[in-house]
Amino acid sequence: MRPVDVVRVAALARVEGEGGVTVRMDGGRVTDVELRVFEPPRFFEAFLRGRAAAEAPDLTARICGICPVAYQLSACAAVEHATGVEVPDTVRRLRRLLYCGEWIQSHALHVHLLHAPDYLGCEGVSDLSAAHPGLVARGLRLKQTGNRVLETVGGRSVHPVTVRVGGFHALPSLAAVKALRPVLAKALDDALATVRLVSGFDVPDLEHPHEYLALRSGTGYPMETGDVVTSGGSAFPVTDYGQHVVEEQVAHSHALHARLDGQRPFVVGPLARYALNADRLTGAAAGAAREAGLGAVCRNPYRSIVVRAVETVYAVEEAQRIVDDWDGEGPAFVDVPFGEGRGTLTGHGATEAPRGVLYHRYTLADDGTITDAVIVPPTSQNLASIEADLRTVAEADPDLPFEEITRRCEAMVRAYDPCISCATHCVTVLPSGEDSDHEKAGG
């Protein structure tokens, strides 16, 4: 046994954004775990002050190119809540269709290109496409379907242009929406094949103890709306998010960690959504979950790849339902009025991004100028749990070769599909000088 060891992953590969892992061990015991973030802060919450509420969707989309719809729709939800505006059913359904596109695109990317290589002994996209061309082709087809839905409803897949507070700048043509049908039918076959493949992956045994937090709404699997529920039995409206989910600074990592009710680390994302909404899966998605042996709750973070695959089936089916019912009629948006002498307004909005609950809160002046903005992305809420799981993984078998512990730690982080670009605003970069191994990456 080595006396004092440090497992250091210089730069985490196959995650969105740039980060690294440090695990310090002393005599087989982990003394310190750190998910380090190299992403420089971009100050969104600061520069939103003074901007018009109507600009929030386009500006906050730029926090993340992988899940811009999540930012746009959480921003819309918060501004609409502040003004008491209810969007028409047409808008609600079209938003859900847009979100289905993002889930399919994001999950297909993560499952096939970023996460699967860990279970197939590959380094990444190049050797994976040589060794498993069929899997890569299927993943790309699915991802393309997601992008096709995003382009049809949103104009483009990265930073869609049609979303506005109150609805959409323009509705897609009926023909364009109906043209999605054959594409989605093919995608359903692909998505089901993916569930069968990934449910057969040999994943390490691990049960993490964390509390799960997700949205839950009156009908359907949660996406663009819902109240908050947790596996510990808590339930509260989105307006109370800030009272329950508190971000605090912890000494060992210079990072802000979100805690539930001031103490418990918790998890958002596919595992949490599934645990709290499995009964809402229908049709082929429910069947796929059953065949994959997921049970009512899945507590193994490595199996999140299976839940993502099942959620992809759900998103494809849900998109099919919306497309089938779509008649192209209805208003594209409703007016969201400002300047009516109502004084200061506060609005809360939360939606289920592919990586979990994304919460926005805005304080608005009477004329709609943003005076304060709070954005809590999914990944920052998972940081405390990721670090706890890293500790478990590193301590499980401390005599393993260094390279293997490193690999397992990396795979553990990737199982959460962290988006470090998103998390940045609430994770402090290390003091200058300490991130020097980043400069060496690739050089």
Partner 1 sequence: MSRPTLAVWKFASCDGCQLTLLNCEDELTDLLRALDVAYFPEATRAASPGPFDISLVEGSITTPADAERIVEVRRLSRCLVTIGACATSGGIQALRNTADVDEYRRLVYPRPDLVAVLDRSTPIATHVTVDVELPGCPVDRHQLLEVIDALLHDRRPRLPTYGVCVECRRAEAACVLVSRGLACLGPVTRAGCGALCPRHGRGCYGCFGPQEAANPSALSDRLVAEGTPRRDVVHLFRTVTAGAEPFRREAARQEEARQEEADRS
Q: Which of residues 55-114 bind partner 1 (CB under 8 A)?
A: 55, 58-59, 62-66, 68, 109, 113-114
- Measured from the CB atom, the residue of 162 and 231 that comes closer to partner 1 is 162
Compute the Cα dihedral for 16, 220, 140, 149 and give only its sign: negative
- Measured from the CB atom, the residue of 220 and 418 that comes closer to partner 1 is 418
CA distance 358 to 354: 9
**Of 121-129, 175-183, 274-282, 383-391: span binding partner 1 (CB under 8 A):** 121-129
In the set 117, 166, 368, 377, which binds partner 1 (CB under 8 A)? 117
Q: Which of 139, 126, 247 is nearest to 195 (CA)?
A: 139
Binding of residue 339 to partner 1 (CB under 8 A): no
CA distance 128 to 309: 18
Nearest approach in angstroms of CB 38 to partner 1 is 8
- Measured from the CB atom, the residue of 66 and 319 that comes closer to partner 1 is 66
- Measured from the CB atom, the residue of 223 and 430 that comes closer to partner 1 is 430
Long-range own/partner contacts, residues 251-255 (CB < 8 A, 24 or more apart) = 252/32, 252/33, 252/34, 253/33, 253/34, 253/35, 253/36, 253/387, 254/428, 254/430, 254/431, 255/34, 255/35, 255/37, 255/383, 255/426, 255/427, 255/428
- Measured from the CB atom, the residue of 171 and 198 that comes closer to partner 1 is 171
- Total residues binding partner 1 (CB under 8 A): 77
Nearest approach in angstroms of CB 360 to partner 1 is 15
CA distance 397 to 34: 19
Residues 24-43 interacting with partner 1 (rule: CB under 8 A): 39-43
Binding of residue 398 to partner 1 (CB under 8 A): no
- Measured from the CB atom, the residue of 171 and 288 that comes closer to partner 1 is 171
- How is residue 50 annotated by DSSP? T
Residues 250-269 interacting with partner 1 (rule: CB under 8 A): 254, 256
Nearest approach in angstroms of CB 286 to partner 1 is 29
CA distance 170 to 176: 13
Cα distances from 289 to residues 23, 297, 304, in angstroms, run 34, 11, 12
CA distance 29 to 396: 9
- Measured from the CB atom, the residue of 286 and 332 that comes closer to partner 1 is 332
CA distance 367 to 340: 8
Residues 145-174 interacting with partner 1 (rule: CB under 8 A): 147, 155-159, 161-162, 164, 169-170
Binding of residue 176 to partner 1 (CB under 8 A): no
